[in-house]
């Protein structure tokens, strides 16, 4: 930041400033923890010299608190991926099953929105395709906040719901699937290069909310990445330019996720581990009938309160997955 010309690019300078603030905050947390440990050691030495059992008991309680803080800070150090600290793009796609699956996709949208709210993250919807009768066919949101991608990457995969269908007059049990994609929100100045010649950009009228303005003007944007066949779109913004920028953020994230998956599969192949891609990669089951349980099939972590999980209580599942990745590494 002290280099000549650093402030010439205000946007880049602000990002560096934000990065510096994040790093300073992390260092301050460790410095504060180290100081607390030093203070407790000094207090304990005095208490032992005076045989002050009450003070020694108080120190023991403080040690337990510090141990939990240490575990949390060490856990954050495990989130060392390139984009783990940053914002994320999350997409949900209803699987086969029509209205039942589309309703399940909307339930997942609410679950992740509630989780984000509990962590004081900001959520912005980029694109949504409503279901034919209820629910949604697909939705893409951006989740902004510290470590949003680092945590939510644990949710990538197929989610399975078993319940008595509210759309079945015969009250039969149905199984529904939805695919959750999680990608980092990558800025333009980061090394994901996209040749404009490989893109096809189409504009159309938005089908989402926005009143007459969005209905009369072709503000929505659909971008096709010709080499990969990836199609992304945005229709939530007021202007065509804003929607194009939003769609490009999603495209960069998808291309990064594809490359990341290739590397993970190659690493697994070298380790001799079978990697099953696509819709077969079911990660979690949510069972509402005939019993109540949510179980993560990757870690074995499970809870018997699906209502709480669907209301955004996901931290146990996310922590279990991240710890399993630490062990795998």
Instruction: Say if residues 219 and 197 touch (Cβ distance below 8 Å).
Output: no
pLDDT of res. 298: 92
pLDDT at 327 over 80: no
For residue 309, what are the contacts with CB-CB under 8 A and spacing of at least 6? 111, 286, 294, 303, 317
pLDDT at 141 over 80: yes
> What tens digit of pLDDT does each residue of 91-121 get?
999 987 789 999 999 999 999 999 999 999 9
* Paired sense of beta strands 230-234 and 302-303, if any: unpaired
Long-range contacts, stretch 161-167, CB < 8 angstroms, 24+ apart: 161/104, 161/107, 161/285, 161/286, 161/288, 162/285, 162/286, 162/287, 162/288, 162/289, 163/287, 163/288, 163/289, 164/288, 164/289, 165/100, 166/103, 167/99, 167/100, 167/103, 167/133, 167/134
pLDDT of res. 318: 94
CA neighbor of 143 nearest in space, from 238, 250, 240, 220? 250
Where is pLDDT greater, at 63 or 71?
Answer: 63
Tokens, residue 275 = 């990697």
> What tens digit of pLDDT does each residue of 191-215 get?
567 888 899 999 888 765 444 434 4
> What tens digit of pLDDT does each residue of 145-185 get?
988 999 999 999 999 999 988 877 777 888 999 999 998 88
pLDDT at 216 over 60: no
pLDDT at 272 over 60: no
What H or E segment, with its residue span, contains residue 324? helix 315-328
> Model-level pTM?
0.68
């Amino acid at each position: 930041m002290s280099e000549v010309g650093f402030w010439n690019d205000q946007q880049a300078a602000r990002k560096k400033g934000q990065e510096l603030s994040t790093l300073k905050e992390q260092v301050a947390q460790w410095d504060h923890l180290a100081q607390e440990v030093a203070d407790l050691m000094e207090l304990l030495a005095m208490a032992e010299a005076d045989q002050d059992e009450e003070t020694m008991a108080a120190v023991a309680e403080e040690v337990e608190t510090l141990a939990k803080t240490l575990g949390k800070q060490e856990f954050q150090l495990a989130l060392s991926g390139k984009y783990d600290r940053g914002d994320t793009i999350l997409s949900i796609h209803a699987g086969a099953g029509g209205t039942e699956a589309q309703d399940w996709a909307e339930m997942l949208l609410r679950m992740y929105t509630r989780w984000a709210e509990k962590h004081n993250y900001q959520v912005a919807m980029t694109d949504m395709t409503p279901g034919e009768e209820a629910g949604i066919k697909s939705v893409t949101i951006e989740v902004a906040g510290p470590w949003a991608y680092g945590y939510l990457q644990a949710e990538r995969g197929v989610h399975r719901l078993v319940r008595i269908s509210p759309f079945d007059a015969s009250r039969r049990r149905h199984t529904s699937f939805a695919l959750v994609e999680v990608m980092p929100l990558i800025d333009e100045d980061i090394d994901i290069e996209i040749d404009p010649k490989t893109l096809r950009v189409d504009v159309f009228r938005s089908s989402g909310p926005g009143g007459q303005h969005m209905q009369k003007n072709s503000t929505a944007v659909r971008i096709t990445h010709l080499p990969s066949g990836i199609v992304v779109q945005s229709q939530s913004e007021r202007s065509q330019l804003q929607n194009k920028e939003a769609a490009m953020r999603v495209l960069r994230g998808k291309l990064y996720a594809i490359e990341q998956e290739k590397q993970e599969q190659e690493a697994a192949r070298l380790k001799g581990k079978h990697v099953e891609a696509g819709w077969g990669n079911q990660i979690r089951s949510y069972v509402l009938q005939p019993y109540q349980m949510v179980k993560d099939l990757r870690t074995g972590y499970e809870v018997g309160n699906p209502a709480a999980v669907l209301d955004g209580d996901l931290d146990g599942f996310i922590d279990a997955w991240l710890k399993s990745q630490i062990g795998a590494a």
